[in-house]
Amino acid sequence: MKAVILAGGKGTRLRPYTKILPKPLMPIGDMPILEVLLRQMKLAGIHEAVLTVGHLAEFLRLFFQDGARLGMQISYSYEETPLGTAGPLTQVQGLESTFLVSNGDVLTTLRLRDLLDYHRANGAAATIAMHKRQVHIDLGVIELNGANEVHGYIEKPSYDFMVSMGIYVFEPRVLDYIPPRQRFDFPELVQRLLDAGERVVGFPFEGYWQDLGRADDYEQAILDFDRLREQFLPTVYQPAAAPAAPAQASRKARPIAKAKAGNGLAYPPG
């Protein structure tokens, strides 16, 4: 199996660090965050990875080279102009069977083999690893109808959302939905798949996950890695309890995020 790692971003939210170092090379403990991810891929039985690179690409190539140090085969796909998150996949050669895609700055205890097994069991064109995140609104939220009449008021609600972890499993036919040599992002790809009647499922994961997009997230991840190192880098694969398979549902159905206010539950409008 082949993995594609998106490592070409400029990491603008982590400046000034990323002015001189690509974000996937930001150190977590005694190794870059991308090395943690590559070691997890190897544990899952993935021995070939393609890094899509652009910003400060030479540093990534100098550090990882051909992957021999990690017991993997690593190659590089260069973006002359930014192609978004999904666009770079059209430039990667050899994606002829099920493949994994991941952002290069994800720190998680997710067992990638569990994700791959789940994808295969559900017969999906695409599987998105997802994690629950809560967003707190520190204001009173007013619910209106079309005539600006108030029909609800929630004081400082918290909303639960299932968010993408930046890790995906795709079937090769997904590439047919990505326009070549154009900027194209994963939300656009998912919408095209749904419009075409393709099956897209989510893999719910309740363990540790951190996107290293902001400085405070990065600093917390450093502390967490030292504390939970054996969970991030186990020496032996141990499968987690498999999540329940998603039921076949109408494509018109959409998830509802719950808003918690006081002791009751409410739902946001729309």
DSSP string, 212-247: TTSHHHHHHHHHHHHHHHHHHS-SS--PPPPPPPPP
Report domain extents, the chain.
Answer: 2-131+162-236
> What's the rounded mean pLDDT across residues 167-177?
97
> What's the rounded mean pLDDT across residues 124-131?
96
* Confidence bin at 172 (pLDDT 50/70/90): very high
* Confidence bin at 248 (pLDDT 50/70/90): low
65 dihedral zone (left: phi>0; alpha: psi -120 to 50; beta):
left
Is 2-131+162-236 CATH 3.30.70.20? no
Mean pLDDT over all residues of the chain?
84
